[in-house]
A and B are shown apart, each in its own frame.
Chain A
């Protein structure tokens, strides 16, 4: 005969056990692993229209991320993982850091960022970003991938150096090795010009002349008279232009003093994605994107797509939503992401840059894809583009 108190305890214990079982059962029933991703961007002022051909796109990036979430969840339904995307769109004059600290940091481990460099650095360094992995789907900045790199930031778009290298490889193949460099007057234009100079040096291209654009941006006044005078210089094979905002670069082609093609930010451009691209299954994603977004896929859309797909791929393979596990897998040699460009994409572990082929495109035709055949590398030809491990001044592995 057991004392009443003991009986009570046993009863209570059994009841607790029962509750525990119920609890386990409910967990199993819902055994879905949730991977929450924040999408963070800031509204930009609409710039004055340069042409009626290309309307200003306000939501660059977002439809790409949304398409990827759908793709991830198609896989997820078979693997019991659920991917959730939460948008945070900061107004023009809003405080990005504030939004991040209040709503994102500590709550989301994965952030797809469409922010400019300064804001990205600020939030990546904040205390609440300790366990956050950022996917930079907007910048091309080389400093951010070198001296200013952060161990919790991965970069999806090719850097300026990668783009300039891609152009240089193709120009080497064509043997158009004397360049006339024309530079716009923004800070970004200077950075692109730096990348062009670096590529020229790397691949043995000669910059025979260099000029800064100091004229107006008015097509009526500028185009005919100014460009033909401005472009009189020593003979060259191609004109390389650095005009990232597209303020005057479009005026150069067909108006130069001597008949020479234009490359760089206009003319033949080096880009992560382009509407003319249809090889390697690209036509499929072009179609799917267009159907969903009702417009062409832009570079930032592609980057946001890849960012979310990279999270999906790593989470599915590791069966984990733990950011440390996911990041380690992403930076490992096992990681291979399909990006519709003929080679598996992966991250450079030394600077977090996504290694990828770069498209060289004219407005209505895909000219070629870099790395150009013949540029060899002991590990992967993709690393002939941009800062290779020995050149990098970032070492994420050590900084971690």
Chain B
């Protein structure tokens, strides 16, 4: 009996935990798509401003931050009501940004001005602007809050910014056109993708040098179609996942042996990635086929694709 009650409670808890919402920015629709991934349904789309791209959810899951590039701002949107509750001075044409673990500071790439802008979210104020290489794009903050790393696409470098001082401590030359950067949960490694070389590079945070360079090869797909973009690694550093752009596939990498284990066919020009809160699923935005794919990570299969609107760009998940 006790067991039955426990099972029931667990079931209820699980059901509650599974009620997640996926938010997708739609670059060409000037809108945000709200998706119920478990029902496999687009719930609604709401207007958010011109050319929305980068998106993140606050650590308390209460607000969404969305870079509305052509409005030159990052909007703060209530994650429940989807009403705009504020806007941040992001500098021109914001595209990608990263929140620090506390969720009080934002690091924004200003591609046109070769700058990283640091914003105090509560005060809605720019604290610092840091000169980096040409066309900074990918940006991330280490989970231990030691580093903010900016990747400049044309300079082909990772710039290691000390989060305390805002100074660049080191620069690492990587393969052509680095796009996304992502730390492992333990902050010990940084993974970065190179769109033009078609590679994934794994760096040791201590030395800030590459420890592994991974090539992708897919039978029947020309090498120059393999253009890695988004990259995420699961919490126990068991597997990493890389979106391969116009190769229309997500690569699964064994994060211990660094072997590419599998390629999963998703939508066209697969772009950005986000885990479900329990890391059982992966959501991908597919820029050309205008949908998102849901990957079941247990079975390593694409279980569903959901049409969301034109040019899906970024993705964030609310538990």
Contact = CB atoms under 8 A, between A and B. Distances in A.
B222 A342 contact: no
Q: Which secondary structure dominates chain A's binding surface?
A: helix
Interface string B217-248: 00000111101000000000000000000100
A75 B174 CA distance: 11
Contacts of B187: none
A337 to B, nearest CB: 7
Interface in B119-163: 133-135, 152-157
B171 interface: yes
Interface in A331-350: 336-338, 342-344
A71 B196 contact: no
B176 A377 contact: no
Interface in A341-361: 342-344
Interface in A193-209: none
A377 B225 CA distance: 12
Contacts of A75: 133-134, 155-157, 173
B197 interface: yes
A344 B135 contact: no
B176 A313 contact: yes
Contact of A78 (B157, B175, B196, B225): B157
Contact of A380 (B112, B157, B224): B224
Interface stretch (A2-10, A171-179, A280-288, A322-330): A280-288
Given A74-B134, A281-B153, A344 B112 contact: no
Nearest to A357: B224
Given A75-B155, A316-B156, A381 B222 contact: yes
Given A75-B155, A281-B135, A344 B171 contact: no
Highest count of chain A CB atoms <10 Å: which of B133, B176, B195, B224 = B224
B223 A380 contact: yes
Contacts of A365: none
A79 interface: yes
Contact of A316 (B153, B173, B224, B227): B173
A281 B177 CA distance: 11
Nearest to B246: A342
B156 A71 contact: no
Contact of A338 (B171, B176, B246): B176
A161 interface: no
B222 A377 contact: yes
Contact of B196 (A316, A338, A377, A380): A338
B29 interface: no
A183 interface: no
B291 interface: no
Q: Classify the interface of chain B: helix, strand, loop or mixed.
A: loop
A382 interface: yes
Interface in B177-205: 177, 195-198
B133 A343 contact: no
Interface in A370-386: 377, 379-382
B254 interface: no
Contacts of B177: 338, 344
Contacts of B198: 344
A71 B223 contact: no
A241 B259 CA distance: 53
A288 B222 contact: no
B224 A284 contact: no
A284 B176 contact: no
Contacts of B153: 281, 338
B134 A336 contact: no
A79 B222 contact: no
B222 A380 contact: yes
29 contacts: A70-B134, A71-B134, A71-B154, A74-B114, A74-B134, A74-B152, A75-B134, A75-B156, A75-B157, A78-B157, A78-B171, A284-B112, A287-B112, A288-B112, A316-B156, A336-B175, A336-B176, A336-B197, A338-B153, A338-B176, A338-B196, A342-B227, A343-B224, A344-B177, A344-B197, A377-B222, A380-B223, A380-B224, A381-B224
Given A78-B155, A284-B112, A380-B222, 19 more contacts: A75-B173, A78-B157, A78-B173, A79-B173, A284-B111, A288-B112, A313-B176, A336-B175, A336-B176, A337-B176, A338-B177, A338-B195, A342-B246, A343-B224, A343-B225, A344-B177, A344-B224, A377-B222, A380-B224
